[in-house]
Amino acid sequence: MKLVAFAIAAIAALVGTPAFAVDGVLPPPSLPPQGWSFTGCYIGANGGVAWGNSNFNWTNITEQPGVGFSQGAATVLPEAADVSLDRGGFIVGGQAGCNYQPGWLVVGIEGDFGYTNVSVGQTTVSLGNTNGGPATIVPGYISESFSTNWLSTLRGRAGVASGAWFYYATAGLAIAKASFSDQVCFPPSALQPTCNTASWSGTREGWVAGGGIEWKITPAFSTKLEYLYADLGNISTTSIATTSAGATPFPEATITHDHTFNESIIRVGVNYQFVWGAQ
């Protein structure tokens, strides 16, 4: 929420510039000066901050002593493991697209790719027979983590131009690389020491939406401020109780690990537009 508030404040600051009419009211859309149209294709670079978030949820824990987990595990493990992990980092990359401006309306399409460095994890111990939990279960040592290292989007853009300013909304497809890891281990003091381990790494597809302001410095060069929110959906994995030797003495002792994944982006960018035939 702090990131969203910052985005709103930053855009509001631009709205207070002389390009806007007094009293905070947008001026009537006006045609651009000769050679300053947003019509055309462009390439550019961008950089800013990325904020990644994932909700971890552990379910389907079978309580069958001698076959599955001991009595109480289905309560104390999720109490410790269910968490929302989030972390900020940077994003840097490039974009390319094309616009068409008939009068004050501008429509276009843009694709981008950005490298990110978002990574976060936690370790904790569930309640058990030595630290205030059920007498039937040994505490479990839990570790969880997620990371993402790139994000790419393909979006439509639409908005209004007023002179050298372009105010737009944007939405489309998002693709990101993500990795998740979940583990709970019961120590040698347990009747049968085992670990439940699950991991996932790959690309996720989802939707992205946001908005921004772009300003032409010259007929060919422009700068922009943009906010995007990407929802990459849900990822589910399953773990099975396994000994250190790799055996699965309790094949029914499984856990379903569900993760949501989303990112918020605030970035600035610079575009170079190919201004064919400009005067």
The full set of domains in the chain, from first to last, is: 2-273 (2.40.160.20)
User: How far does the chain reach from its first CA to its final CA, in angstroms?
Assistant: 45
pTM of the model: 0.83
| Spatial contact of 226 and 269, defined as CB atoms under 8 Å apart | yes
Residue 88: what pLDDT? 95
Residue 185: what pLDDT? 94
Distance of CA 7 to CAs 212, 226, 229, 276, Å?
A: 9, 8, 11, 34
DSSP per position, 206-272: EEEEEEEEEEESSSSEEEEEEEEEEEEEEEEEEEEEE-TTS--SEEEEEEEEEEEEEEEEEEEEEEE
| Spatial contact of 135 and 70, defined as CB atoms under 8 Å apart | no
pLDDT at 8 over 80: no
Region 188-197: mean pLDDT is: 80
Mean pLDDT (the chain, rounded): 87
Residue 222: what pLDDT? 96
Residue 214: what pLDDT? 98
pLDDT digit string, tens, across residues 57-102: 999 998 887 788 888 999 999 999 999 999 999 999 999 999 999 9
Region 196-220: mean pLDDT is: 96
- Nearest one of 237, 259, 268, 266 to 148, comparing CA atoms: 259
Helices and strands in the chain, H and E counts: 2, 8
Residue 132: what pLDDT? 92
| Spatial contact of 178 and 235, defined as CB atoms under 8 Å apart | yes
- Confidence class for position 245, pLDDT limits 50, 70, 90: confident
pLDDT at 225 over 80: yes
pLDDT at 5 over 60: no
Region 251-260: mean pLDDT is: 94
- Nearest one of 114, 60, 124, 83 to 260, comparing CA atoms: 83
Residue 33: what pLDDT? 56
The rounded distance, in Å, linking the Cα atoms of 138 and 173 is 45
> Greatest CA span in the chain, whole angstroms?
83
Sign of the CA dihedral with 104 first, then 105, 108, and 112 last: positive
